[in-house]
Amino acid sequence: MELPLSPITQTKLAQSFSPREGETRLGQKVRLLPGAASYMDALTQAKAAGARFAIIGIKEDLGPRANLGQGGANQAFDAMLPALLNLQSNRFLSGEECLLLGEIIPVANAAHDCQQLRQEVESLDQQVIEALTPVFAAGLEPIVIGGGHNNAFGLLSAARAALSKPLAAVNLDPHSDFRLREGRHSGNGFSYAAANGALGHYHVLGLHELKNSEANLEQLTAFGGSWHSLQQIWVRRELSLEKALSDIARQLRHTGLPVAIELDLDAITQMPSSASTVAGIPLLDAAHYVSHMARHTQSVYLHLAEGAPACHDAGLAAGYKTVGQCLAELIYAYLQAKQV
Ligand SMILES: N=CN[C@@H](CCC(=O)O)C(=O)O
Protein backbone atom coordinates (compact mmCIF):
# COMPACT_ATOMS: atom_id res chain seq x y z
CA MET A 1 0.00 0.00 0.00
CA GLU A 2 1.41 3.41 -0.99
CA LEU A 3 1.20 5.92 1.85
CA PRO A 4 1.58 9.71 2.02
CA LEU A 5 3.20 9.43 5.47
CA SER A 6 5.39 7.01 7.46
CA PRO A 7 3.07 4.87 9.56
CA ILE A 8 3.97 4.21 13.19
CA THR A 9 5.22 0.64 13.38
CA GLN A 10 4.70 -1.88 16.16
CA THR A 11 8.45 -1.62 16.88
CA LYS A 12 8.35 2.17 17.28
CA LEU A 13 5.26 1.90 19.46
CA ALA A 14 6.91 -0.71 21.71
CA GLN A 15 10.01 1.49 22.07
CA SER A 16 7.88 4.44 23.17
CA PHE A 17 6.56 3.16 26.50
CA SER A 18 7.41 0.72 29.32
CA PRO A 19 4.67 -1.67 30.41
CA ARG A 20 4.38 -2.36 34.15
CA GLU A 21 2.79 -5.40 35.78
CA GLY A 22 -0.80 -4.79 36.93
CA GLU A 23 -1.20 -1.60 34.84
CA THR A 24 -2.35 -0.80 31.33
CA ARG A 25 -0.63 2.09 29.58
CA LEU A 26 -2.21 4.06 26.73
CA GLY A 27 0.56 2.60 24.55
CA GLN A 28 -1.02 -0.83 25.04
CA LYS A 29 -4.40 0.39 23.80
CA VAL A 30 -3.84 2.82 20.91
CA ARG A 31 -4.39 1.48 17.42
CA LEU A 32 -1.95 1.41 14.52
CA LEU A 33 -2.84 1.75 10.84
CA PRO A 34 -4.18 -1.63 9.59
CA GLY A 35 -2.89 -3.19 6.39
CA ALA A 36 -5.31 -2.57 3.48
CA ALA A 37 -5.46 -2.11 -0.28
CA SER A 38 -5.16 1.66 -0.02
CA TYR A 39 -4.52 4.46 2.48
CA MET A 40 -8.20 5.43 2.32
CA ASP A 41 -9.30 1.82 2.96
CA ALA A 42 -6.94 1.57 5.93
CA LEU A 43 -8.33 4.77 7.46
CA THR A 44 -11.91 3.65 6.85
CA GLN A 45 -11.17 0.29 8.49
CA ALA A 46 -9.58 1.97 11.51
CA LYS A 47 -12.63 4.19 11.87
CA ALA A 48 -15.03 1.23 11.55
CA ALA A 49 -13.04 -0.64 14.21
CA GLY A 50 -13.60 2.20 16.70
CA ALA A 51 -10.91 4.83 16.13
CA ARG A 52 -12.18 8.40 16.33
CA PHE A 53 -8.94 10.41 16.51
CA ALA A 54 -5.86 10.16 14.28
CA ILE A 55 -2.61 11.28 15.93
CA ILE A 56 -0.11 12.54 13.38
CA GLY A 57 3.35 14.12 13.68
CA ILE A 58 4.84 16.59 11.21
CA LYS A 59 8.58 16.26 11.71
CA GLU A 60 9.86 19.50 10.27
CA ASP A 61 11.29 22.84 11.22
CA LEU A 62 11.49 24.27 7.70
CA GLY A 63 8.69 26.74 8.45
CA PRO A 64 10.28 28.40 11.51
CA ARG A 65 13.67 28.49 9.71
CA ALA A 66 12.05 30.00 6.60
CA ASN A 67 10.72 32.66 9.03
CA LEU A 68 14.28 33.35 10.26
CA GLY A 69 13.49 31.61 13.54
CA GLN A 70 15.13 28.75 15.42
CA GLY A 71 14.89 25.10 14.40
CA GLY A 72 13.91 22.15 16.59
CA ALA A 73 10.16 21.71 16.00
CA ASN A 74 10.96 18.50 14.11
CA GLN A 75 11.54 16.80 17.49
CA ALA A 76 8.23 17.60 19.20
CA PHE A 77 6.43 14.45 18.03
CA ASP A 78 9.16 12.16 19.39
CA ALA A 79 9.08 14.08 22.68
CA MET A 80 5.31 13.62 22.90
CA LEU A 81 5.17 9.87 22.23
CA PRO A 82 6.60 8.52 25.54
CA ALA A 83 4.86 11.23 27.57
CA LEU A 84 1.45 10.26 26.15
CA LEU A 85 1.89 6.51 25.72
CA ASN A 86 3.15 5.94 29.28
CA LEU A 87 -0.03 7.48 30.73
CA GLN A 88 -2.56 5.05 32.16
CA SER A 89 -5.51 3.57 30.29
CA ASN A 90 -8.29 3.68 32.86
CA ARG A 91 -11.89 4.79 33.47
CA PHE A 92 -11.06 8.32 32.27
CA LEU A 93 -9.59 7.32 28.90
CA SER A 94 -9.19 3.98 27.16
CA GLY A 95 -6.76 4.82 24.35
CA GLU A 96 -8.70 2.64 21.89
CA GLU A 97 -10.28 5.79 20.44
CA CYS A 98 -6.88 6.78 19.07
CA LEU A 99 -5.24 5.73 15.85
CA LEU A 100 -1.54 6.49 16.20
CA LEU A 101 -1.28 7.08 12.50
CA GLY A 102 2.15 8.27 11.46
CA GLU A 103 4.71 10.93 10.69
CA ILE A 104 4.92 13.35 7.79
CA ILE A 105 8.58 13.90 6.98
CA PRO A 106 9.48 16.59 4.40
CA VAL A 107 10.74 15.16 1.13
CA ALA A 108 12.52 18.40 0.29
CA ASN A 109 14.79 19.17 3.24
CA ALA A 110 18.19 20.35 2.08
CA ALA A 111 17.89 24.13 1.80
CA HIS A 112 19.74 26.68 3.91
CA ASP A 113 18.89 29.82 2.02
CA CYS A 114 15.65 31.59 3.02
CA GLN A 115 14.02 31.61 -0.43
CA GLN A 116 14.77 27.92 -0.94
CA LEU A 117 13.43 27.11 2.53
CA ARG A 118 10.19 28.89 1.59
CA GLN A 119 9.92 26.74 -1.53
CA GLU A 120 10.46 23.62 0.58
CA VAL A 121 7.64 24.75 2.88
CA GLU A 122 5.43 24.99 -0.21
CA SER A 123 6.27 21.38 -1.12
CA LEU A 124 5.60 20.32 2.46
CA ASP A 125 2.17 22.01 2.25
CA GLN A 126 1.30 19.58 -0.56
CA GLN A 127 2.49 16.59 1.50
CA VAL A 128 0.33 17.71 4.43
CA ILE A 129 -2.71 18.16 2.18
CA GLU A 130 -2.17 14.73 0.59
CA ALA A 131 -1.82 12.99 3.97
CA LEU A 132 -4.63 14.81 5.77
CA THR A 133 -7.43 15.08 3.19
CA PRO A 134 -8.23 11.33 3.36
CA VAL A 135 -8.13 11.46 7.18
CA PHE A 136 -10.90 14.08 7.24
CA ALA A 137 -12.74 12.23 4.45
CA ALA A 138 -12.71 9.04 6.56
CA GLY A 139 -14.42 10.95 9.38
CA LEU A 140 -11.42 10.82 11.71
CA GLU A 141 -10.42 13.85 13.81
CA PRO A 142 -6.74 14.63 13.38
CA ILE A 143 -4.63 15.63 16.37
CA VAL A 144 -1.54 17.03 14.70
CA ILE A 145 1.76 17.63 16.44
CA GLY A 146 4.03 20.05 14.54
CA GLY A 147 6.25 21.13 13.18
CA GLY A 148 5.99 24.83 12.64
CA HIS A 149 2.74 26.78 12.58
CA ASN A 150 3.12 26.97 8.79
CA ASN A 151 1.26 23.61 8.75
CA ALA A 152 -2.01 25.33 9.67
CA PHE A 153 -2.22 26.10 5.95
CA GLY A 154 -2.01 22.45 4.87
CA LEU A 155 -4.42 21.36 7.58
CA LEU A 156 -7.03 24.01 6.77
CA SER A 157 -6.70 23.30 3.05
CA ALA A 158 -7.09 19.53 3.59
CA ALA A 159 -10.16 20.00 5.80
CA ARG A 160 -11.65 22.39 3.24
CA ALA A 161 -11.08 19.86 0.45
CA ALA A 162 -12.61 16.94 2.38
CA LEU A 163 -15.50 18.76 4.06
CA SER A 164 -16.31 21.14 1.18
CA LYS A 165 -16.57 24.09 3.56
CA PRO A 166 -14.12 26.72 4.71
CA LEU A 167 -13.00 26.45 8.31
CA ALA A 168 -13.57 28.71 11.29
CA ALA A 169 -10.26 28.76 13.15
CA VAL A 170 -9.45 29.80 16.69
CA ASN A 171 -5.78 30.19 17.53
CA LEU A 172 -4.19 30.63 20.96
CA ASP A 173 -1.05 32.48 19.94
CA PRO A 174 0.76 35.76 20.69
CA HIS A 175 1.30 36.10 16.90
CA SER A 176 -1.58 36.16 14.43
CA ASP A 177 0.48 34.32 11.77
CA PHE A 178 -1.45 36.45 9.29
CA ARG A 179 1.63 38.10 7.81
CA LEU A 180 2.28 39.05 4.22
CA ARG A 181 2.16 36.39 1.54
CA GLU A 182 5.85 36.80 0.76
CA GLY A 183 6.63 33.08 0.39
CA ARG A 184 5.61 30.34 2.78
CA HIS A 185 6.87 30.26 6.38
CA SER A 186 5.59 29.81 9.91
CA GLY A 187 4.25 33.38 10.15
CA ASN A 188 1.72 33.33 7.32
CA GLY A 189 -0.19 30.02 7.40
CA PHE A 190 -3.51 31.76 8.08
CA SER A 191 -3.12 34.58 5.52
CA TYR A 192 -2.41 32.01 2.81
CA ALA A 193 -5.41 29.93 3.96
CA ALA A 194 -7.62 33.04 3.86
CA ALA A 195 -6.42 33.74 0.32
CA ASN A 196 -7.15 30.23 -0.98
CA GLY A 197 -10.62 30.08 0.58
CA ALA A 198 -9.82 27.52 3.28
CA LEU A 199 -10.28 30.02 6.13
CA GLY A 200 -13.75 31.52 6.54
CA HIS A 201 -13.47 32.96 10.06
CA TYR A 202 -10.47 33.63 12.29
CA HIS A 203 -10.05 34.58 15.94
CA VAL A 204 -6.76 34.90 17.81
CA LEU A 205 -6.76 34.48 21.58
CA GLY A 206 -3.82 35.87 23.57
CA LEU A 207 -2.47 38.02 20.73
CA HIS A 208 0.46 40.07 22.06
CA GLU A 209 -0.21 43.74 21.37
CA LEU A 210 3.44 44.44 20.45
CA LYS A 211 4.37 41.24 18.60
CA ASN A 212 2.27 41.94 15.50
CA SER A 213 3.20 44.68 13.04
CA GLU A 214 0.65 47.37 12.15
CA ALA A 215 0.58 46.04 8.57
CA ASN A 216 -0.19 42.58 9.92
CA LEU A 217 -3.02 43.89 12.14
CA GLU A 218 -4.47 45.85 9.22
CA GLN A 219 -4.39 42.80 6.99
CA LEU A 220 -6.07 40.72 9.69
CA THR A 221 -8.76 43.37 10.22
CA ALA A 222 -9.38 43.69 6.47
CA PHE A 223 -10.07 39.94 6.37
CA GLY A 224 -12.57 40.28 9.23
CA GLY A 225 -10.34 38.57 11.77
CA SER A 226 -10.74 39.34 15.45
CA TRP A 227 -8.75 38.87 18.65
CA HIS A 228 -8.57 39.11 22.41
CA SER A 229 -5.12 40.34 23.39
CA LEU A 230 -2.85 38.76 25.99
CA GLN A 231 -2.78 42.11 27.77
CA GLN A 232 -6.59 42.47 27.86
CA ILE A 233 -7.07 39.16 29.65
CA TRP A 234 -3.88 38.32 31.55
CA VAL A 235 -2.37 41.78 32.26
CA ARG A 236 -5.11 44.46 32.44
CA ARG A 237 -7.78 41.92 33.42
CA GLU A 238 -10.42 43.75 31.38
CA LEU A 239 -12.27 40.48 30.96
CA SER A 240 -11.88 37.00 32.35
CA LEU A 241 -10.55 34.08 30.35
CA GLU A 242 -13.86 32.31 30.98
CA LYS A 243 -15.88 35.16 29.43
CA ALA A 244 -13.53 35.33 26.42
CA LEU A 245 -13.77 31.57 25.86
CA SER A 246 -17.54 31.51 26.03
CA ASP A 247 -17.83 34.51 23.64
CA ILE A 248 -15.37 32.92 21.18
CA ALA A 249 -17.18 29.56 21.27
CA ARG A 250 -20.51 31.29 20.64
CA GLN A 251 -19.09 33.15 17.62
CA LEU A 252 -17.61 29.92 16.25
CA ARG A 253 -20.90 28.03 16.62
CA HIS A 254 -22.68 30.94 14.96
CA THR A 255 -20.57 30.56 11.78
CA GLY A 256 -21.99 27.06 11.20
CA LEU A 257 -18.55 26.12 9.85
CA PRO A 258 -16.31 23.24 10.95
CA VAL A 259 -13.90 24.52 13.59
CA ALA A 260 -10.11 24.28 13.68
CA ILE A 261 -8.50 24.44 17.12
CA GLU A 262 -4.99 25.84 16.79
CA LEU A 263 -2.41 26.38 19.51
CA ASP A 264 1.13 27.70 19.17
CA LEU A 265 3.16 26.41 22.10
CA ASP A 266 5.02 29.74 22.18
CA ALA A 267 1.89 31.14 23.86
CA ILE A 268 2.82 29.16 27.01
CA THR A 269 5.30 30.59 29.52
CA GLN A 270 8.85 29.40 28.92
CA MET A 271 7.80 26.59 26.61
CA PRO A 272 10.77 25.62 24.44
CA SER A 273 9.91 26.97 20.98
CA SER A 274 11.39 29.23 18.35
CA ALA A 275 9.75 32.35 19.82
CA SER A 276 9.59 31.25 23.47
CA THR A 277 8.59 33.86 26.07
CA VAL A 278 8.73 34.43 29.81
CA ALA A 279 5.53 36.49 29.54
CA GLY A 280 3.20 33.78 28.34
CA ILE A 281 0.18 32.04 29.77
CA PRO A 282 0.16 29.08 32.16
CA LEU A 283 0.06 25.60 30.58
CA LEU A 284 -3.17 24.81 32.42
CA ASP A 285 -4.90 27.87 30.92
CA ALA A 286 -3.85 26.55 27.51
CA ALA A 287 -5.26 23.12 28.40
CA HIS A 288 -8.48 24.79 29.54
CA TYR A 289 -8.70 26.63 26.20
CA VAL A 290 -8.36 23.33 24.31
CA SER A 291 -10.92 21.66 26.57
CA HIS A 292 -13.45 24.51 26.29
CA MET A 293 -13.18 24.80 22.50
CA ALA A 294 -13.37 21.03 22.01
CA ARG A 295 -16.43 20.77 24.23
CA HIS A 296 -18.36 23.81 23.06
CA THR A 297 -17.69 24.04 19.30
CA GLN A 298 -18.07 21.79 16.27
CA SER A 299 -14.31 21.23 16.06
CA VAL A 300 -12.79 18.88 13.50
CA TYR A 301 -9.12 18.97 14.44
CA LEU A 302 -6.52 20.00 17.00
CA HIS A 303 -3.13 21.36 15.89
CA LEU A 304 -0.33 21.81 18.45
CA ALA A 305 2.53 23.64 16.75
CA GLU A 306 6.02 24.95 17.39
CA GLY A 307 7.17 22.85 20.37
CA ALA A 308 10.96 22.66 19.97
CA PRO A 309 12.73 20.57 22.64
CA ALA A 310 16.17 21.81 21.56
CA CYS A 311 15.19 25.37 22.54
CA HIS A 312 15.14 24.48 26.26
CA ASP A 313 17.79 26.48 28.16
CA ALA A 314 18.88 23.37 30.08
CA GLY A 315 19.41 21.25 26.95
CA LEU A 316 17.70 18.64 24.83
CA ALA A 317 16.77 16.11 27.55
CA ALA A 318 15.02 18.81 29.59
CA GLY A 319 13.33 20.01 26.37
CA TYR A 320 12.02 16.54 25.56
CA LYS A 321 10.54 16.25 29.03
CA THR A 322 8.92 19.70 29.09
CA VAL A 323 7.56 19.68 25.53
CA GLY A 324 6.51 16.01 25.79
CA GLN A 325 4.54 16.47 29.00
CA CYS A 326 2.98 19.70 27.74
CA LEU A 327 1.78 18.03 24.53
CA ALA A 328 0.44 14.98 26.40
CA GLU A 329 -1.64 17.22 28.71
CA LEU A 330 -3.04 19.22 25.78
CA ILE A 331 -3.93 16.06 23.85
CA TYR A 332 -5.69 14.61 26.88
CA ALA A 333 -7.60 17.89 27.40
CA TYR A 334 -8.94 17.48 23.84
CA LEU A 335 -9.70 13.76 24.05
CA GLN A 336 -11.42 14.09 27.41
CA ALA A 337 -13.55 17.04 26.29
CA LYS A 338 -14.72 15.11 23.23
CA GLN A 339 -15.90 12.14 25.28
CA VAL A 340 -18.44 14.08 27.32
N1 LIG B 1 4.62 30.88 14.20
C2 LIG B 1 5.19 31.87 14.68
N3 LIG B 1 5.26 33.03 14.03
C4 LIG B 1 5.79 34.22 14.61
C5 LIG B 1 7.23 34.08 15.00
C6 LIG B 1 7.74 35.28 15.66
C7 LIG B 1 9.24 35.28 15.94
O8 LIG B 1 9.96 34.42 15.41
O9 LIG B 1 9.63 36.13 16.71
C10 LIG B 1 5.61 35.34 13.60
O11 LIG B 1 5.94 35.13 12.44
O12 LIG B 1 5.12 36.39 13.97
**With a 6 A CB cut-off, is 61 part of the ligand 1 pocket?**
no
Instruction: Read off φ and ψ for residue 226, nearest 5 degrees.
Output: -135, 170
Q: Cβ distance 141 to 260 under 8 Å? A: no
| Whether residue 340 has pLDDT greater than 80 | no
Q: What is the pLDDT of residue 110?
A: 87
| Whether residue 24 has pLDDT greater than 90 | yes
Q: Is the ipTM of this complex over 0.95?
A: yes
Instruction: Read off φ and ψ for residue 56, nearest 5 degrees.
Output: -135, 140
Look at strands 6-7 and 53-58 and give their pairing.
unpaired
**CA distances from residue 315 to 248, 277, 309, 312 in whole angstroms, order as listed:** 37, 17, 8, 5
Atom of ligand 1 at shortest range from CA of 69: 8
- CA angle, residues 215, 216, 220, in degrees to nearest 5: 115
**With a 6 A CB cut-off, is 274 part of the ligand 1 pocket?**
yes
Compute the mean pLDDT over every residue in the chain, rounded to the nearest whole number. Answer: 97
- 68 closest CA partner among 246, 275, 339: 275
Give dist(CA 274, CA 326) in Å, integer: 16
| Whether residue 62 has pLDDT greater than 80 | yes
- By the 10 Å C-beta count (0-12 exposed, 13-18 middle, 19+ buried), 210 is classed as exposed
Beta bridge partners of 25: 88
Q: Cβ distance 258 to 158 under 8 Å? A: no
Report the residue among 151, 186, 192 best suited for mutation to probe ligand 1: largest number of ligand atoms under 8 A from its CB.
186
**Rounded mean pLDDT, 75-79:** 98
Q: What is the pLDDT of residues 170-208, one digit of tens each?
A: 999 999 999 999 999 999 999 999 999 999 999 999 999
**With a 6 A CB cut-off, is 141 part of the ligand 1 pocket?**
no
Distance 8 CA to ligand 1 centre (A): 30
Q: What is the pLDDT of residue 328?
A: 98
**With a 6 A CB cut-off, is 174 part of the ligand 1 pocket?**
no
Report the residue among 61, 67, 276 best suited for mutation to probe ligand 1: largest number of ligand atoms under 8 A from its CB.
67
Q: What is the pLDDT of residue 1?
A: 85
